[in-house]
Amino acid sequence: MELGECEAIQVQRVESGDQLAVTLSALNAETQFEVANVIPGNKHGASVFATARELDSDMFVRGVRSRSIFDASVRRDRATEEYVRWLNEHNSEVRTLQIVPLRIIISDRATAILPTDIACPQKGITVYREPSAVNAFVFLFDTLWAQASVWGERFSDHGREISDRDKTILELLAIGERYDSVAQRLSLNERTVRRSYESVAKELNAATPFEAAYKAVKRGWL
């Protein structure tokens, strides 16, 4: 059953792969002015984005606006960068967050799609059309969007610049991540992570990552 044929259904669960593809295609066809995406995970294969481009292309031709929030750790992923570049060419907006809670798709602020089981996305999706539920997901997206950083954004203070990568490293260390785990998450070597933090900490005269993050916030870097 396609989405356009079940307007009376407020909540619809979709489990099979074939039906899932039909559902997403129908939602794209129905979208008139905006699609909002929250995309967790730190690696996305080229085949995933190839499918996404196919689904998005028709909407962009119709002038549909796109806003997407990615996990910050994908900034150095080549497939993601290529997809973001393609999105930007179609007047889409992309932002990143350190912690992206779950996959969300919102169409025209009227329909929301989420995993049926967040812990096991393979179990399918749930489509919500009930206004109070959709409004809650819209509020969540708007809150995350306001907190997120523009893709590739750089932060400066009196001529001193802190790169998007340095910002990410500092934020992760400040919440207790170890050098090796930050390096693995961002696909960097541990020495690069240490040098990045030590440079920022020296500039801020900070003894710990938490103190460095606090002072960075006061300077407007974070």
> Can you tell me the mean pLDDT for 128-154?
87
At residue 156, the pLDDT reads 47
Query: Is residue 43 located within the same domain as residue 92?
Result: yes
At residue 6, the pLDDT reads 46
Determine, yes or no, domain membership for 21: yes
Determine, yes or no, domain membership for 94: yes
Q: Which residues pair with 67 in a beta bridge?
A: 36, 93
Query: Is residue 159 located within the same domain as residue 143?
Result: no
Query: Is residue 146 located within the same domain as residue 96?
Result: yes
Domain boundary among 150, 168, 202: 150
Taking CA 142 as the corner, what is the angle to CA 19 and CA 62, rounded to the nearest 5 degrees? 55
Determine, yes or no, domain membership for 204: yes
Determine, yes or no, domain membership for 177: yes
Q: How confident is the model at residue 44 (pLDDT cuts 50, 70, 90)?
A: confident
Give burial (CB, 10 Å; 0-12/13-18/19+) of 94.
buried
In total, how many domains does the chain have?
Answer: 2
List the domain range (segments joined by +) for residue 22: 9-150
- State the CATH number of the domain containing residue 146: 3.30.870.10
CB 18 within 8 A of CB 128: no
Distance, CA of 199 to CA of 49 (rounded, Å):
36
Distance, CA of 5 to CA of 151 (rounded, Å):
38
Query: Is residue 94 located within the same domain as residue 192?
Result: no
SS3 17: helix
Position 180 pLDDT exceeds 50: yes
Position 116 pLDDT exceeds 50: yes
- State the CATH number of the domain containing residue 161: 1.10.10.10
Query: Is residue 69 located within the same domain as residue 141?
Result: yes
At residue 1, the pLDDT reads 45
Determine, yes or no, domain membership for 32: yes
- Rounded CA Rg of the chain: 19
Query: Is residue 61 located within the same domain as residue 97?
Result: yes
Determine, yes or no, domain membership for 199: yes
Query: Is residue 120 located within the same domain as residue 173?
Result: no
Position 4 pLDDT exceeds 50: no
Determine, yes or no, domain membership for 128: yes
Query: Is residue 138 located within the same domain as residue 207?
Result: no
At residue 34, the pLDDT reads 94
Query: Is residue 143 located within the same domain as residue 178?
Result: no
Position 211 pLDDT exceeds 70: yes
| DSSP element (H, E) containing 215 | helix 209-219
Q: Which residues pair with 125 in a beta bridge?
A: 14, 115
Q: Name the residue with higher pLDDT: 196 or 120.
A: 196
At residue 153, the pLDDT reads 56
Q: Which residues pair with 113 in a beta bridge?
A: 105, 127
At residue 141, the pLDDT reads 94
Smallest CA-to-CA distance from 200 within 177, 181, 174, 175 is with 174
Q: What is the pTM of this model?
A: 0.64
Q: How confident is the model at residue 50 (pLDDT cuts 50, 70, 90)?
A: confident
At residue 9, the pLDDT reads 66
* DSSP output for 32-94: -SEEEEEE--S---HHHHHHHHHHHHHHHHTT-EEEEEEEGGGGG-HHHHHHHHHHHHTT-EE
At residue 38, the pLDDT reads 94
Query: Is residue 128 located within the same domain as residue 19?
Result: yes
Question: Please, what is the average pLDDT of the chain?
Answer: 83
Q: How confident is the model at residue 15 (pLDDT cuts 50, 70, 90)?
A: confident
Position 112 pLDDT exceeds 80: yes
Q: How confident is the model at residue 179 (pLDDT cuts 50, 70, 90)?
A: very high
Query: Is residue 113 located within the same domain as residue 191?
Result: no
Determine, yes or no, domain membership for 84: yes
